[in-house]
Structure 1
Amino acid sequence: MTTLDVDAVKTFVTIAELKSFTRAAEALGTTQGAISVKLKRLERQVGHRLIERTPRLVRLSALGAEFLAPARELLAAHDRAVAGLSPARRRRFSLGIATHVGGAEVPTLLARLHAHDPALTIEVRLDDSRDLLDAFDRGQIDAAIIRREDDRRDGEMLATDHYGWFATPDFVHRTGEPLRLAASSPSCGVLNIATRALAAAGIPWTETFLGCGSFAVADAVAAGLATSVFSCRLAPAGTIEVSRRFGLPALPPSEIVLLSALSDARSRVVLKTLVGAFREHHRLPADRAAEEIRAITEAAGS
């Protein structure tokens, strides 16, 4: 019976998630040479190539893709077993995620954090980027994934998000009339960017719906009451991008960043796990969003 090296399996999973030997080595606190040796050891143990590597690409082989889920389960079981033997008290980790940022990847992030450290109690707060930034600065949360606000340059960049104007297909806006907007809060940073763009374009607007939270805003837009600005990844079901239809201004992309006040070794590993899971889940939707925005912009200029 083949006995797998848990450390080698963790190396394989890290490479698969980050799709880079360089980033995997950084996340594991070792060198590219060391992780290459561990991967080769694992491939010898299973008798198959798991990672295909070229000068421009790192990807899973067919058997590697099949092995990834069981490998994650093995690591989770190993961590639970180790945690069960440890007398250490459970740790708490408070994470803020901006409502204009968090989407379908949130369950993935939480599952990955739990699998990494089953003894970790995770507290999640969903709020506007500005409110989360204030909470982080006051020490009320350990880390936050937010839109980069103003000229603040701290934090680790995770991805670039693209925004558009969304409404239902039958939403009506007549030239010269104030654009009906829905917003979650007067202090919402995305709303402020949108209204500044409208002002620069000379387009009047009125706040038709002010809801409590982004879900209420999404419901109002999906009901046809107003238009609003959403990340192209998070637009409400049944809505379409309407900037070209109504002559609305293009919106600048936004950087998504991770802020953290944690510095101990164990917490740094948690954060690296969080960063890797976010980037893995966000990469393809973000690329598609960029293509959609580019097509809309080119069409508007033609």
Structure 2
Amino acid sequence: MIDRPLDLDAVRTFVKIAELGSFTQAAETMQTTQSTVSLKLKRLEKRLGCQLIERTPRYVQLSAQGVTFLEHARELLKQHDHALASLTNARQRLTIGISDHVAGPELPMLIARMNAQDPELLIEIRIGSSGDLLKSFDRQELNTVIVRQHESREDGKLIANEKFGWFASQDWQPRANEPLPVATMPEPCGVRVMAGHLLDQAGIPWR
């Protein structure tokens, strides 16, 4: 039986490790050291009397107890944040990062629908490259992001599949002995890299 309250900072640290799958990334996100993150986790595990994270030189994963505790830990932090917010008159803010490849003309309508559900919610939209938005998300500057899939990330949720194609004006004709002019977003741009790779594989010069 647990007779003392849990350290919420340690609980938040555990959740970050679980979500990022890395002690190093959790430390960077929380702007602290890896040793501090490890110490907070050990204290929480000692407090609960069980191992939450199984860590080896090759991987970090939740134990069976960690999987069970994670849902409750998230709910605990959520209720804690709501309790603090209820004592202030400040409007809640939702900051969303949207990749410039995803943002479209329907965005204002979607924001209006969100605002209609909760008029007191302050919605802030930031549009940028997927890589930059993910960095901001890891620094906790954004609540959530909608970006193109990055193979190195496994902490997101697939919401749609994109289709890519080659497009040109109807009267455009390629010029002999000249590189193919390709219009893309400026670097860094994952679509530009993908297009360049495909053209290079096909042996087609481009610029």
TM-score bracket for the superposition, by shorter chain length: 0.5 to 0.7
C-alpha distance in structure 1 between counterparts of 2:49 and 2:29, whole Å: 26
Select which of 59, 77, 102 maps to 1:57. 59
Match of 1:231 in 2: none
Note the 1:8-23 alignment, pairs <5 A. Answer: 8-23=10-25
Match of 2:140 in 1: 269
Higher percent of residues as strand: 1
Match of 1:156 in 2: 132
Higher percent of residues as helix: 1
Unaligned runs of at least 5 residues, structure 1 = 103-118, 124-140, 148-154, 159-257, 261-267, 287-296, 298-302
Note the 1:1-302 alignment, pairs <5 A. Answer: 1-87=3-89, 89-93=90-94, 95=96, 97-98=98-99, 121-122=122-123, 141=125, 143-144=126-127, 146=129, 156=132, 158=134, 269-271=140-142, 274=144, 279=153, 280-282=155-157
The 1:120–1:9 alpha-carbon spacing in structure 2 relative to 1, beyond 3 Å, is: farther
Q: What code does the residue aligned with 1:30 have?
A: T
The 1:83–1:35 alpha-carbon spacing in structure 2 relative to 1, beyond 3 Å, is: same
- Of all paired residues, the percent bearing the same amino acid is 51
Asked if structure 1 preserves the Cα contact closer than 8 Å seen for 2:27 and 2:37, the reply is yes
C-alpha distance in structure 1 between counterparts of 2:32 and 2:61, whole Å: 20
C-alpha distance in structure 1 between counterparts of 2:156 and 2:94, whole Å: 21
C-alpha distance in structure 1 between counterparts of 2:58 and 2:100, whole Å: 35
- What's the TM-score, normalizing by structure 1? 0.39
Aligned residues: 138
Asked if structure 2 preserves the Cα contact closer than 8 Å seen for 1:101 and 1:146, the reply is no
Unaligned runs of at least 5 residues, structure 2 = 104-119, 162-197, 199-207
Q: CA deviation at 1:84?
A: 1.5
Q: What code does the residue aligned with 2:25 have?
A: R
Higher relative contact order (CA 8 A, sep 6+): 1
C-alpha distance in structure 1 between counterparts of 2:4 and 2:100, whole Å: 46
Q: CA deviation at 1:90?
A: 1.4
C-alpha distance in structure 1 between counterparts of 2:73 and 2:49, whole Å: 15
C-alpha distance in structure 2 between counterparts of 1:120 and 1:36, whole Å: 36
The 1:101–1:59 alpha-carbon spacing in structure 2 relative to 1, beyond 3 Å, is: farther
Q: What code does the residue aligned with 1:97 have?
A: I
C-alpha distance in structure 1 between counterparts of 2:59 and 2:4, whole Å: 30
Asked if structure 2 preserves the Cα contact closer than 8 Å seen for 1:101 and 1:145, the reply is no
RMSD: 3.7
C-alpha distance in structure 1 between counterparts of 2:31 and 2:121, whole Å: 21
The 1:56–1:145 alpha-carbon spacing in structure 2 relative to 1, beyond 3 Å, is: farther
